Amino acid sequence: MVADDAALFRAGISRLLADAGFDVTAQVGDAAALLDAVDRDPPDAVVVDIRMPPTHTTEGLDAARVLAERHPGTGVLVLSAHVEPHYAMRLVESGASGTGYLLKERVADAGELADAVRRVAAGGVVIDPGVVAQLVGRRRVHDPLASLSEREREVLAVMAEGRSNQAICERLFLSPKTVEAYVHNVFTKLDLHQAADTNRRVLAVLAHLRA
């Protein structure tokens, strides 16, 4: 299900997703229509623009929160033009599983969009690499990340994007054991508690990066 007020963009996304093997069950132009459509026929995942009528501010985020309460089984991927960790955090903080924050320009890569939709549909968390890069790249006076090795920092970044250990293995071409060791090191060095699931892990890492 795709919600975006720009019809052309909406159609483009639907086309990309259909090409990637998804069944696009509905296309709507605003948050109210989206909620109605989901209520009628809850899909596995929703792709929603952050800015929609009437105020063109954060309707997408608000819809995501409502959906998380009403339809915990539906993943919500919010598309945004802004590299703002604040929005990403608001999504993750709502505690819902299956949420994501992706920059609109990522849709240029159909594979990336499809991957993100699959992950939120499966209850995972997706944080745009650009947002993570900004957090990791932030200049700090006493940078806790300075204690990490370059590899550990890469692992941290991929974790922050919401990837599971398995995904980290594939991304960085590492063995599961090595990844586990890196993840452990990162958490120890940053003085973070190992979280029970990926979502809480993302939240912990993001919160730490924003602090």
Partner 1 sequence: MQRLRPRTRAALAAAGAAAGVAAAAALVWGGYQVPADLLAPTLVLDLAVGWSFIGVGLVAWRRRPDSRTGLLMVVLGFAWFARFAVAVDSRAGFVVGVLVGSVYLSVLVHLLATFPGGRVQDRTQRVLVTVGYLLSAPLDAVFLFVFGAQRQLGEGPPPNGLVIAPSNGEFDPSGVDLAVQAVVVVLFGSLLATVFTRWRAAGPAQRRSLTPGAVGAALIVGTILVERTAVLLLIPPAVGVALAWSAAVVLVVWPLALLLGLLRSQLDRSAVGPLIVELGAGLPVPERLRSALAATLHDPSLELAYWLPERRAFVDPAGAPVTVAPARGRAMTYLERDGAPIAVLVHDPVLAAEPELVAAVAAGAGLAVENDRLHAEVRSQLREVQASRARIVEAADGARRRVERDLHDGAQQRLVTVALALRLAHTQLGTATSAELAALLDEAGAELAGALAELRELARGIYPVLLTDAGLGPALDSLAERCPVPAVVAAVPARRWAEAVEQTCYFVVSEALANAVKHARASQVAVEVRETGGGLRVEVADDGAGGADAGGSGLRGLADRVATLGGELTVRSPRGGGTRVVGTVPCA
Q: Given the structure tokens 């980290």, which residue do they identify?
A: 168
**Residue 4 identity (one-letter amino acid):** D
Rounded least distance, CB 90 to partner 1, Å: 8
Among 108, 112, 29, residue whose Cα is nearest residue 77: 112
Q: Do residues 125 and 202 make contact, with C-beta atoms less than 8 angstroms apart? A: yes
Taking the complex as a whole, how short is the minimal distance between the CB of residue 27 and partner 1, in angstroms? 24
Cβ closest to partner 1, residue 18 vs residue 81: 81
In the complex, the smallest distance separating the C-beta of residue 164 from partner 1, rounded to whole angstroms, is 26
CA–centroid distance for 46 within its chain: 12
* Minimum gap (Å) between residue 204 Cβ and partner 1: 18
Nearer to partner 1, 60 or 124 (CB): 60
Please answer whether residues 59 and 31 qualify as being in contact, where contact means their C-beta atoms are separated by less than 8 angstroms. Answer: yes
- Nearest to partner 1 of 42, 130 (CB atom): 130
Residues contacting 196, CB < 8 A, separation 6+: none
Task: Give the H/E segment covering residue 62.
Answer: helix 59-70
DSSP assignment letter at 195: P
Amino acid at 34: L
3-state secondary structure of 13: helix
Q: Cβ 42 to partner 1, closest distance in Å?
A: 28
Cβ proximity to partner 1: between 30 and 84 the closer is 84
- Closer Cβ to partner 1, 147 or 166, answer by number: 147
* Residues of the shown chain interacting with partner 1 in the complex, contacts defined by CB under 8 A: 57-58, 81-87, 90, 105, 108, 134-135, 138-141, 143, 210
d(CA 56, CA 175): 45
For partner 1, which is the closer residue by CB, 146 or 196? Answer: 146
Measure the CA–CA gap between 156 and 146, rounded to whole angstroms.
12
C-beta of 75: minimal distance to partner 1 in Å?
23
Count of CB atoms within 10 A of residue 147's CB? 12
